[in-house]
Amino acid sequence: MAIVYEMLLNYPIPEVRQVLRWQDVALYNFSIGLGQDPMDEKQLDFLYEPRLKVMPSMPVVLASPGFWSRNPDTGIVWQQILHGEQGLILHKPLPTEGEVIGRSRITGLVDRGEGKGALMYSEREIVDAKTGEVLATSTSTSFMRGNGGFGGPSGPVKKPHPEPERAPDVTLDLATRPEQALVYRLNADLNPLHIDPAVAKQAGFPQPILHGLCTFGTVCHGLLRSLCDYDTARFGRMDLRFSSPVFPGETIRTEIWKEEGGAAFRARVVERDKVVVSNGLFRYA
């Protein structure tokens, strides 16, 4: 079944409710690398329940509808989907306990032509189930390599945030753990690409790769540490483009340029000098 433009644009992605426990918060924070120095008091704030804080990137894993694009009636060739871009806006401080609702929708489809793939833009609002307040908005761009030529519009295409040509103002290296993907998947992303060596080899990788959203969280940690001194209330918005996968155990170097209204950033793995995140935009108080 090929993509039917109007049908996919209005596809009924299931609403999801999730009960959030402090243990979920601590697991998420640990899974993106917090706590590697157990004597770092500021990192312990994200792991120790009496004073627990939520890393601002956590909404990307909350109340997720799962891999709905595998449903045959979407027309999507799900085996050829790539997670191209990720964004997040934080509207309210995130609770460490409570119930949240995830409401997802497709916001745009771009047909790049036969054999050239297509872009799918989507967003998920994370809502406090008790108050009805929107806590966060998560946005993503998926590159559907197997779905070009369905007769959809050729735009508009989201423009990437420009990267400065000068040397970065701030750099920060954060190591990932060799087993980090095994922990991160417990947040609900059970794609075997991140745990099964055989599946990784079938996909063309020498070993399982780190989840893109784990890289997102690690870079968020770098930005929060470098620019906000771990003050989560200062986080506003974060957008980036995924350029290449990270292998668990590699070191992620976040390169930051201060600019009016916030910062631009990118990230690379130190061991291979490979850019893994590009065209980053960060807004903070």
Torsion of CA 31, 36, 42, 46, to 10 degrees: 20
Phi, psi at 196, each rounded to 5°: -100, 110
Are 153 and 3 contacting, i.e. CB atoms less than 8 angstroms apart?
no
Query: What is the token pair recorded at 226?
Result: 């470098």
Q: Between β-strands 251-259 and 16-20, what pairing exists: parallel, antiparallel or unpaired? A: unpaired
Please name each of the domains of the chain with its CATH number.
5-144 (3.10.129.10), 170-284 (3.10.129.10)
3-state SS assignment for residue 148: coil
End-to-end CA distance of the chain: 47
Which sequence positions are flagged as catalytic? 189, 194, 209, 212
Judge if the upstream peptide bond of residue 93 is cis by omega within 30 degrees of 0. no
pLDDT in tens, the chain (285 residues): 689 999 999 999 999 999 999 999 999 999 999 999 999 999 999 999 999 999 999 999 999 998 899 899 999 998 889 999 999 999 999 999 999 999 999 999 999 999 999 999 999 999 999 999 999 999 999 999 999 999 999 999 999 999 999 999 999 999 999 999 999 999 988 888 899 999 899 888 999 999 999 999 999 999 999 999 999 999 999 999 999 999 999 999 999 999 999 999 999 999 999 999 999 999 999
The predicted model scores a pTM of 0.95
Are 13 and 102 contacting, i.e. CB atoms less than 8 angstroms apart?
no
- The Cα–Cα gap between 278 and 240 comes to 6
- The Cα–Cα gap between 70 and 81 comes to 10
Burial class of residue 98 (count of CB atoms within 10 Å of its CB; 0-12, 13-18, 19+): middle
* Residue 250 identity: E
Question: Which residues, at least 6 apart from 190, have a Cβ–Cβ distance to it below 8 Å?
Answer: none
